[in-house]
Amino acid sequence: MMAASMLRRDKKTTAALLKTELNRTDNSSGVRLLQELLDNVLNPEKPAADTEALEWCKCLLAGGEGFEEFCKTVRSYDNATLCGLVWTANFVAYRCRTCGISPCMSLCAECFNNGDHTGHDFNMFRSQAGGACDCGDSNVMRESGFCRRHRLKTGENVPTVPKDLLLMSEMVLPRFIVSIIQYLRDGYVEPDSSAERDLQKVLQQLDPHISFLEELTKMGGAMRTVLTKILTNQQTFKELSMGQEDSVYAKKNYEKYLSALKSSGLVPAEEKGAGAATAAVAAGGGGSEAGAAGGAASLSLLGATAAVNSVESSKEEDQDGGQGVGQRKRVKLSSSTKDPSIMDTLKHKCFLEELLFWTIKYEFPQKMVTFLLNMLPDQDYKITFTKTFVQHYAFIMKTLMKSQESDTMSNRIVHISVQLFSNEELARHVTEECQLLDIMVTVLLYMMETCLIRSELQDEENSHHVVVNCGEALLKNNTYWPLVSDFINILSHQSVAKRFLEDHSLLMYWMSFVSFFQGMNLNKRELNEHVEFESQTYYAAFAAELEACAQPMWGLLTHCKVKETQEYTKTVVRYCLEALQLWFDNIGFVDEPAPNQVTFHLPLHRYYAMFLSKAVKCQGLDLDSLLPDQEMLMKIMVHPLQIQVSLSEIHSNMWVRNGLQIKGQAMTYVQSHFCNSMIDPDIYLLQVCASRLDPDYFISSVFERFKVVDLLTMASQHQNTVLDSEQERPMLEGALTFLVILSSLRIHLGMADDEILRAEMVSQLCMNDRTHSSLLDLIPENPNPKSGIVAGSCSFEDMLSAVADFKAPVFEPGGSMQQGMYTPKAKVWEKEFDPIMVILRTVYRRDVQSAMDRYAAFLKNSSAFSGNPWPPYKERTPLHPCYRGLVRLLHCKTLHIVIFTLLYKIWMDHPNMSEHVLCMVLYLIELGLDNQVQEEDEEPCIEEHCHDSWFPGTSLLSNLHHVINFVRVRVPERESPPEVRRETPPSTSAESSPPSQTRRRLSGNWRENLREAQLFSLVAERRRKFQEMINRSSREANMAAAAAATRPKSSAARWLPPGTSQHLAAAAAAAANAPQLVTEILEVRESMLSLLVKLHQKLSARGAAALSAAGLEGADPGAVAHGDGLTAIQRILSKAAARSRLSRRCIQDICGRLCPPVPPKNNSPGDKKSMDKEERRQRARERQQKLLAEFASRQKSFMETAMDVETPEVEAGMDLEASEEDSAEVLYDCVICGQSGPSTDDRPTGLVVLLQASSVLGHRCRSDEPKRLPTTDEEHIYPEDTCGAASDVRLSLMQRHFKESSCLQSVSIGWDGGVYVQTCGHTLHIDCHKSYMESLRNDQVLQGFSVDKGEFTCPLCRQFANSVLPCRPGAGSEVGAWHTPSNKPTHVLVKEVEDLQDQLGIFPVSDTVRQTHSYSPDLRPLTPIP
């Protein structure tokens, strides 16, 4: 009754009365009256949209005063020292890396502007998921970055809150929160209910209530303290959570609440028993053990999932639609977790826990999230809420996986978690008390087990390895992102990361998680038909590896930089090796990869590689102590090497039937955001393997994997059963380029962080000029956000100013402004341009050509080199002592055999030998000369495994001058040369030392390795296989050649020379009929030095006179870094001569044999050479002038240029001049291939020209009197004295006296359809031009000209052109019987012409005129000249 009477009174009066009653000493009556009133006002059975309850609450809180005044009064007692402003998505905020301790620190605009951030590294960003201002929180940011308000404001200056001010709030708000919870309970329905209620409708009705709570939080610290006490009071929750005893509605809602709690466990109750039994069987019935042993058991369980659960999952397979055995394999984790409570049903003890529970159930409504975050400035609340959040963490992720709006829910989860886990002290606290790390790893495993399938890598039928299915929504939608983001965030804290690294069980679980991504998204090469559907799941796979595997790895590596953390690194490395071994066992891998398969995802390899790199670089650990045995290293190198091979296969169009998505994977693999976590660790791991494995085994493995072993024969033709002919050259180029990268890259082998940043910046700037933002995006960023923008002590801006010049923005003709760009400094082009780094970092192959074009333009502008330059050789930084074994790759016999073979094939013009092949071969030779190995550092030669004796030793410097006399080649049986004896030598030897001199005794260590697991059986087999497939020299070959000495000897050039019709016919016949191969003895008698000298002679086209031992000795190899192939060969020969007296003598002998010295007659050779050159230039100028005169005479009228057939003396004079010109052959330089030579019928040369329709000659005036522009309508310029008018008059006159057909033939195309010809003076081969145009058509870059219409830019000077004028083969002038004009009278000439017309009929039209008529109509509208 009292409550009903109070409801009829004025709200303010009632509130004042109740406040007075409650302030009395005995306030029991006041409490009873208030409870009765609240029972009526906050009755949950009333509609939630009723605003009357809110009005009553506001009046009751204010105690009879106005609510606005009450809010103002409460704010005056705000003792909070934190800003805590909460914002949602798309809010503009600031982040200062200089002031931030946590990488997630952010500031609102007001606090940022009121703080001092002058000269700091900050940025303004638009929030994606929402956030909160951290100003005033010393755990997240440094106090120097606080704004003036939060730097000076402390709780000591705030007066104490009066007792009666918040008395009503403490009494009313618990009931108000209970009413909200009742409404949330009522909105919940069972998952199997057919009549589901709209959750958004429930939330919409509660919107005013939640907004009221949010408004209360903005009153300041005093009100937040009251709310914290209410939300965390366990006794109050126990009393009010069940509702009134006599309320049926409250009991019903409570039952709904209990029902909802049952499904809150990570694993359903019915699965726990089966999971425990399975785990007990797998673990041997011993239960879970602490430490490393328990972790090992869990790893075994996880690794053998496919085998253990094959029976239990049969029903699931049937339900999944018959996906096949092992397509769905559940991983049972419940029994092996350290804390079973992670899997258990939730239990709530306070309002805050249930509020968060319903927030999760309703998928994080924005209003509720904002209210919960607004309370964070209260430290007591923050600690309790963080523990509550961790308690519900598994439930959060379980709800996220089922959500239809996972993107929105993910953002709101991170909105909360980033505020909690960015505080290191708080993160450490919940890690210790609430087992946060265990919960996160367990939940991650649980999430991924829902999308596991059996791996088809290697042995598809017997594989026990399971991987994630990239087609699942979990990966495609990045549903795992919130959990991974939180995990990365807490690993950025040193104390948490160390706890993770110390927990061996957790590490084992984590390796199990990483193994789920090992080998995912497997690609199988399509060999017959094009794939029908191109899956786009590859980007989900790359994103998953980067975010779920690589970024946590970088977070852990951040805390393994000092010697005190050596044990952490050793532990991770040990578990990586165990996980790798388990993976090899599960996929059934022995020694050879399955053909036509590739996966770009090897996170276990990359974890192992990066921790190895950090251990050597930062912690001073010995590399050998962290490496496995040789057999394991051979296995580890296989799959990273297969990825490098696949890159070349993809670029060679071998995977073209798999569609564009396979190219997308290859490009993503090397892209700037992924390369630090993918290709760089792979290359480093291969470098480590190469430094420790037998170099001959490694080199032979590389060429075998690249499928080019059949190409490495000295025969002019061969049979390749794997590659097509057009695929051999790019694959060979890829193999050589890979070896160059492997031998020269120093990112993880000794370069400092600043040097890495500089190299990355230079490589990007050399490809193209960049804006600041694009360059910052292209520089590979360490994915760990703790490290800032880039690694190293040197800042990005300082490095950029050191290597680049800024070009200010300029206005374009259209009025738009071009952005300011950074371009490399001149010293960068001179000393730091590294084409190998450019190749490594290019996503598109055209970027390499762009860098080379810019490099050539710089050399031309600086007058350093005017020709077509080759990629410059760049000396490398010294190797770290642990990696000195990598140099052995350059000093092994197998590589020297390959180099010798390729040099020989290039010299002999064998097919599939390109300029790039020669460039890479020379690069490898120069790397070997610059990185010598000591004799005592060489590995012992194993007698029974050394089947090669091409060279006596392994030193490149010694093998350069070693002469190979004869080699055995495999050729088709019916095409063997008759001069060469057919042999099958059992062993190999050519000018080699006796076997006794090359054999060395094995040390005890090597003998032990031979006994263990047959370590070198693979080495021997790989060597034997390699050398059986490639050409080999032999002592028996020498003996066979000596026995056949009485017969005429044939050189390799005479035997089936490449390029001839016989060779091509033989190749076609061999491909068609596949004849049997037989062994032949081929006479060579060359060394690598002699081949280099002959290649120099061939490239120079001037003979070997330019090469002399004296000239090579006086040259400084380091000073000649820029040039073409001639420069590279000269530099190599100079280095060889400077470092070996024997090499110097060999070069002298070779030069003397190829070009013996000739005593000078009158002039010195240099003077004679210069005179010949000047004479050729003079003759060329004369011929050019005569040609122009002849072209002009053809365009004159018929009356002025009538041919006089009765003047034989003139014809004889012209023939004499032509014969003189024929005697001097014109040489042209092709600007594409760089070769110099005459224009021939087989390979004509053309002049780059621009043809334009022009009528400019018709406006030429006879008189020199200047014309006046007309100023009135009556005035005009009379065209009577122009050439056009004269030509029209002449045509009219001729039409009056001659036939129409004769007149039209005599004037050609007329003055108004003339052709204007421009040229840059550069020449090129017609076939090179055709290939160049094809490359332009295939280039996807937006061009400013139409390639389909024949337009292009000169490859050298980039001048616009649209045609190529062929140069006449032979001499440089036309040959023809052109006659001088006759002096006969006009009527006589007219009579003669009429007679000729009667005799010959219509004059034949020349090809030149016909072609000109065909293209002149198209040129006129295309490129007119006014």
**Predicted pLDDT of residue 372:** 92
Decide which of 942 and 390 is more confident. Answer: 390
pLDDT bin (cut points 50, 70, 90) of residue 829 is very high
Mean pLDDT of 715-732: 86
**Is residue 1309 predicted with pLDDT exceeding 50?**
yes
**Is residue 1424 predicted with pLDDT exceeding 70?**
no
**Predicted pLDDT of residue 612:** 96
What lies within 8 Å, CB to CB, of 1396 at 6+ separation is none
**Helix, strand or coil for residue 922?**
helix
Mean pLDDT of 1039-1043: 49
**Predicted pLDDT of residue 654:** 93
Decide which of 265 and 251 is more confident. Answer: 251
**Predicted pLDDT of residue 205:** 85
**Is residue 192 predicted with pLDDT exceeding 80?**
no
**Is residue 1029 predicted with pLDDT exceeding 70?**
no
**Is residue 21 predicted with pLDDT exceeding 90?**
no
Alpha-carbon distance 1055 to 1078, whole Å?
15
- Residue-wise pLDDT for 1185-1213, tens only, equals 666 655 555 555 444 444 443 444 444 44
**Predicted pLDDT of residue 238:** 87
Decide which of 341 and 1425 is more confident. Answer: 341
> Which of 732, 666, 747, 743 is closest to 698 using CA atoms?
743
**Predicted pLDDT of residue 646:** 96
- Residue-wise pLDDT for 29-61, tens only, equals 888 888 888 888 888 778 777 788 888 888 888
**Predicted pLDDT of residue 1398:** 66
Alpha-carbon distance 1125 to 1131, whole Å?
10
**Is residue 625 predicted with pLDDT exceeding 70?**
yes
**Predicted pLDDT of residue 725:** 86
**Predicted pLDDT of residue 338:** 47
pLDDT bin (cut points 50, 70, 90) of residue 299 is very low
**Predicted pLDDT of residue 1295:** 82
Most confident of 63-72, 304-313, 572-581: 572-581
Most confident of 485-494, 1162-1171, 1298-1307: 485-494
pLDDT bin (cut points 50, 70, 90) of residue 1026 is low
**Predicted pLDDT of residue 557:** 93
By mean pLDDT, which of 81-85, 244-248, 949-953, 1066-1070 is the weakest? 1066-1070
pLDDT bin (cut points 50, 70, 90) of residue 1341 is low
pLDDT bin (cut points 50, 70, 90) of residue 997 is very low
**Is residue 1151 predicted with pLDDT exceeding 60?**
yes
pLDDT bin (cut points 50, 70, 90) of residue 2 is low
Decide which of 586 and 82 is more confident. Answer: 586
Decide which of 698 and 53 is more confident. Answer: 698
Q: Regarding beta strands 86-87 and 810-811, do their DSSP bridges make them parallel or antiparallel, or are they unpaired?
A: unpaired
Mean pLDDT of 497-506: 94
pLDDT bin (cut points 50, 70, 90) of residue 628 is very high
By mean pLDDT, which of 32-41, 301-310, 804-813, 1038-1047 is the weakest? 301-310
By mean pLDDT, which of 599-608, 1220-1229, 1296-1305 is the weakest? 1220-1229
By mean pLDDT, which of 531-545, 653-667, 983-997, 1028-1042 is the weakest? 983-997
**Is residue 290 predicted with pLDDT exceeding 70?**
no
**Location of structure tokens 């001097």:** 1224
**Is residue 641 predicted with pLDDT exceeding 90?**
yes
- Residue-wise pLDDT for 1004-1020, tens only, equals 333 332 223 223 344 45
**Predicted pLDDT of residue 227:** 93
**Predicted pLDDT of residue 1343:** 67
Alpha-carbon distance 654 to 646, whole Å?
9
**Is residue 785 predicted with pLDDT exceeding 70?**
no
**Is residue 1406 predicted with pLDDT exceeding 80?**
no
Task: Report the percent of the chain where pLDDT is more than 70.
Answer: 72
Alpha-carbon distance 900 to 909, whole Å?
14
Instruction: Write down the H helix ranges in 1298-1378.
Output: 1300-1306, 1326-1338
* Mean of all residue pLDDT scores within the chain: 77
**Is residue 1296 predicted with pLDDT exceeding 50?**
yes
Decide which of 1232 and 940 is more confident. Answer: 1232
Decide which of 398 and 1197 is more confident. Answer: 398
pLDDT bin (cut points 50, 70, 90) of residue 150 is confident
Most confident of 983-987, 1094-1098, 1157-1161: 1094-1098
**Predicted pLDDT of residue 3:** 60
Task: Report the percent of the chain where pLDDT is more than 90.
Answer: 35
By mean pLDDT, which of 96-110, 458-472, 1101-1115, 1225-1239 is the weakest? 1101-1115
In this structure, what token pair is assigned to residue 1318? 């421009």
Decide which of 508 and 1307 is more confident. Answer: 508
In this structure, what token pair is assigned to residue 468? 């994630």
**Is residue 1301 predicted with pLDDT exceeding 70?**
yes
pTM across the whole model: 0.74
**Predicted pLDDT of residue 1177:** 65
> DSSP letters along 108-176, please?
-HHHHHTS--TT--EEEEE-SS-EE--TT-TTTB-GGGS-HHHHH--GGGSPPPPTTTTHHHHHHHHHH
pLDDT bin (cut points 50, 70, 90) of residue 1371 is low
In this structure, what token pair is assigned to residue 1322? 């550069």
pLDDT bin (cut points 50, 70, 90) of residue 1215 is very low
What lies within 8 Å, CB to CB, of 1187 at 6+ separation is 1372, 1373, 1374
> Which of 49, 69, 516 is closest to 305 using CA atoms?
516
Alpha-carbon distance 1249 to 1150, whole Å?
43
> DSSP letters along 773-841, please?
HHHHHHSPPPS-GGG-SSSSSS-HHHHHHHHEEEEPPEE-TTS-EEPPEEEE-HHHHHHT--HHHHHHH
**Is residue 92 predicted with pLDDT exceeding 70?**
yes
Mean pLDDT of 734-738: 96
Q: Write the single-letter amino acid at 1161.
A: K
**Predicted pLDDT of residue 1227:** 84
Instruction: Write down the H helix ranges in 545-675.
Output: 551-557, 566-587, 603-617, 630-651, 660-670
CA angle 746, 747, 751 (to 5 degrees): 75
**Predicted pLDDT of residue 512:** 94
**Predicted pLDDT of residue 934:** 66
Q: Regarding beta strands 1352-1353 and 1360-1361, do their DSSP bridges make them parallel or antiparallel, or are they unpaired?
A: antiparallel
**Is residue 284 predicted with pLDDT exceeding 50?**
no
Alpha-carbon distance 172 to 982, whole Å?
108
Mean pLDDT of 279-287: 35
Q: Regarding beta strands 131-132 and 523-524, do their DSSP bridges make them parallel or antiparallel, or are they unpaired?
A: unpaired
By mean pLDDT, which of 557-571, 704-718, 863-877, 1270-1284 is the weakest? 1270-1284
pLDDT bin (cut points 50, 70, 90) of residue 903 is very high
